[in-house]
Structure 1
Amino acid sequence: MRAVLGEDQPIMREGIATILRKAGIDLVAAVDNAVDLVHVADTYLPDVVITDIRMPPNLQADGLEAVLKIRADRPETPVIVLSQFLDASYALDLVGDDPRGVGYLLKEKVASPQIIIDAVERVVARDSALDPDVISALLGRKRPHDPLAALTPKEHQVLALMAEGHSNTGIAEQLVVTVAAVERHVTGIFLKLGLSQGASGHRRVLAVLRYLGQ
């Protein structure tokens, strides 16, 4: 597996590079600005692109804009965006119309190497890997006449794991219940939220995220 990395802080860049190399991932380029990130992604066509959001040249959401350009040119490119701040709007912008191969992690999670490696494996497998804290923030917003209030505590847990990108099997493993039980919860959630269940897991994640982002 080959990766390119965009991170303007040298210590963080080297830390992530070390994590990737120890996991056997070939880091073919590590750059400190969004312009070079787009260039190396075009040059090396990596299996995954990992980048900070705020980086030069403008120190705004340059990293996010870079991966959006990369995915516009090659939609199949898996990407993981790292953010210092919990901003659900960034995650929603990143997902766009297709959650496949998309990851969004808070930078503080990088201190746990396995979290970033798991995220890499999930996005390369064309799944999504969205930070649980971002999903919790979306779930926790107060809205008038919020249908989320009708969900049971277990349905809230299932909904959060769905939004992170977990399959029914993965949810069952995390909650230590049967897949059939998860399926019943999913059916109830979609009925209460007025969402189409659909056959595709990716459409399911997208529907949930769009609902939570309203």
Structure 2
Amino acid sequence: MRILIAEDDALLRAGLAALLEDEGYEVVTASGVAEFLASARAKVPDLAILDVRMPPTFTDEGIRAAVEVREMYPNLPILVLSAWVEQSFATQLLAQGSRGIGYLLKERVGRVEQFLSCLERLVAGETVIDPEVVAQLFARERAAAPMASLSEREREVLSLMAEGLGNSAIAARMFVTEGAVHKHIRNIFSKLDLPPDHESDRRVMAVLQYLQTDSIS
């Protein structure tokens, strides 16, 4: 599997490359967005890993590059790394669709087994959102219904959905039955006014509604 890494921090870039090469992956690195996009065009990677903040402005270059390469290759799994929680970037990234999209804090890289598991999940088409991102967003107060109408249990289920977990994994995490999880999700869809629609993914729409809800100042 070919992994393309875009990271301006030379030490982190080399560390990521060494870690993945030790696992048997082919690794191509880039220190900037232009080099990353050129490498992606030259040969389609199987997975892309990008830092959120890249030269020259160190604002949102990584996110914009992720969006651009995703437009080039809609099925390309992408993992974005950030030093801290940046809600707007997570929302912008997920707006294109959540399949094979990941958003993790850089500190997770040090937890090697978990990090490698996240990469495997992304390649399998799952969504991987850092638990800390979810936790911080849920800690913020919500302005009004419908998000505020969710029960504590429903908010817990939605937070795990935002991490990309399926019903069985949510049930295991909460120590409840899959039937109970299904019921909570059905209630979430109802309260968020998300009727069945074959042209959209209600799980993704529920998570996006949550991420896009403004906090009370």
Instruction: Name the TM-score, length of structure 2 as normaliser.
Output: 0.89
* CA-CA distance at 1:199 after TM superposition: 6.8
Q: 1:173-188 alignment to 2 at 5 Å?
A: 173-188=172-187
* Consecutive unaligned residues in structure 1, runs of 5 or more: none
Q: Is the CA contact (8 Å cut-off) linking 2:6 and 2:33 kept in structure 1?
A: yes
CA distance, structure 1, for counterparts of residue 175 and residue 18 of structure 2? 34
Q: Deviations 1:22-63 (Å, cap 9, x if unpaired)?
A: 333221x11111110111111121110001011123322111
Give the structure 1 partner of residue 166 of structure 2: 167
CA distance, structure 2, for counterparts of residue 23 and residue 154 of structure 1? 39
Instruction: Name the TM-score, length of structure 1 as normaliser.
Output: 0.90
Q: Is the CA contact (8 Å cut-off) linking 1:92 and 1:209 kept in structure 2?
A: no
Give the structure 1 partner of residue 209 of structure 2: 211
Give the structure 2 partner of residue 26 of structure 1: 26
Give the structure 1 partner of residue 9 of structure 2: 9
CA distance, structure 2, for counterparts of residue 152 and residue 36 of structure 1? 47
CA distance, structure 2, for counterparts of residue 12 and residue 157 of structure 1? 33
Secondary structure, counterpart of 1:143 in structure 2: coil
CA distance, structure 2, for counterparts of residue 152 and residue 83 of structure 1? 30
Give the structure 1 partner of residue 82 of structure 2: 83
Counterpart AA for 2:180: A
CA distance, structure 1, for counterparts of residue 52 and residue 209 of structure 2? 24
CA distance, structure 1, for counterparts of residue 98 and residue 203 of structure 2? 7
CA distance, structure 1, for counterparts of residue 172 and residue 71 of structure 2? 35
CA distance, structure 2, for counterparts of residue 20 and residue 198 of structure 1? 40
Give the structure 2 partner of residue 105 of structure 1: 104
CA distance, structure 2, for counterparts of residue 77 and residue 70 of structure 1? 8
CA distance, structure 1, for counterparts of residue 159 and residue 4 of structure 2? 30
Give the structure 1 partner of residue 39 of structure 2: 40
* CA-CA distance at 1:203 after TM superposition: 1.3
Counterpart AA for 1:182: V
Q: Is the CA contact (8 Å cut-off) linking 1:150 and 1:192 kept in structure 2?
A: yes
Moved over 4 A (4+): 197-200
Secondary structure, counterpart of 1:82 in structure 2: strand
CA distance, structure 2, for counterparts of residue 3 and residue 155 of structure 1? 36
- Between stretches 73-82 and 168-177, larger displacement belongs to 168-177
